[in-house]
Amino acid sequence: MPETQLIIGLHAVRTALKHGDAVTEILLESRRRDARIKEVLNLARQAGLKPRQVEGEELDRLAQGGNHQGVAAYTRAPAVMDEAFLKQLLAGLDLPPFLLVLDGVQDPHNLGACLRTADAAGVQAVIAPRDKSVGLTPVACKVASGAAETVPFIQVTNLSRTLKWLQQQGVWLIGTAGEAESELYQADLKGPLAIVMGSEGKGLRRLTREQCDSLIKLPMLGAVESLNVSVATGITLYEALRQRS
């Protein structure tokens, strides 16, 4: 039996219904009859699903304090890929690799936001270590707004070994670090590329930093010393997209 997970809220359920056949069951609050609920009903019919009417109290219990907006759904959990998949992916690419590496991101909101931005920027896969980093939790998938199903998420046993293998395949590793001398807008982000982002608190681990071919930093002109990792990822990926376009 495939593992399932609960997603809540109008946007999350609408997005899941629009991205293939991952939804297995839809729960609707029986008293809701507004236009947004009708849109979910129409999408469900198109997917061949008959929503189950439930009381608001049941949705409250399932959502555990989350804002369900009168709708929830069970979906097949997105698959987490491994090193073997990464090798197959690179072998089958027609374009230069464009990858995102997250070294120890632990907040599911940050992972979800990074996945969403990676999808928008055309990243072919997101890579993370299995240990000391968050996986595809329901919260991460909700924040990703469908990107958890469209962008391969690869968890590897040994990140340093994977980075070394990527270098052997001709992929240039560019890490972000506050102590870097070069700034983002000075970097060449074309060609086979992996952007390497650090964790929320400590940034890149020492071994990861040493593995990178070069380090860059985002220009910081105000009083704060750093940006949230998902914001920094978005800025960096879109500068890479601008150059690669």
Domains of the chain: 4-76 (3.30.1330.30), 80-244 (3.40.1280.10)
Sites in the chain below the pLDDT cut of 70: 1-2, 20-21
Check whether 10 is labelled as a binding-site residue: no
Q: How far apart are CA 138 and CA 113, in angstroms?
A: 13
User: 110 to each of 78, 106, 141, 241, how far by Cα in Å?
Assistant: 17, 8, 11, 20
Asked whether residue 227 is marked as a ligand-binding residue, the answer is yes
Predicted pLDDT of residue 220: 87
Percent of the residues in the chain that have a pLDDT greater than 70, as a whole number? 98
Task: Report pLDDT for 20.
Answer: 63
Query: What is the DSSP code (8-state) at residue 80?
Result: E
Q: Which one-letter DSSP state was computed for residue 117?
A: H
18: left (phi over 0), alpha (psi -120 to 50) or beta: alpha
Calpha distance 243→190 (Å, rounded)? 6
Q: What is the pLDDT of residue 168?
A: 98
Which pLDDT score is estimated for 137? 86
Model confidence, pTM: 0.83
Which tokens is 224 given? Answer: 């704060």
Judge whether 184 is annotated as a binding position.
no
Q: Where are the beta strands (DSSP E) in 103-223?
A: 125-129, 153-156, 172-176, 182-183, 193-197, 214-217
Residue 17 pLDDT: 86
Q: Which distant-in-sequence residues (6+ apart) come within 8 Å of 18 by Cβ?
A: 43, 146
The confidence score (pLDDT) of residue 21 equals 66
Question: Helices 35-46 & 10-18, crossing angle to 10 degrees?
Answer: 20
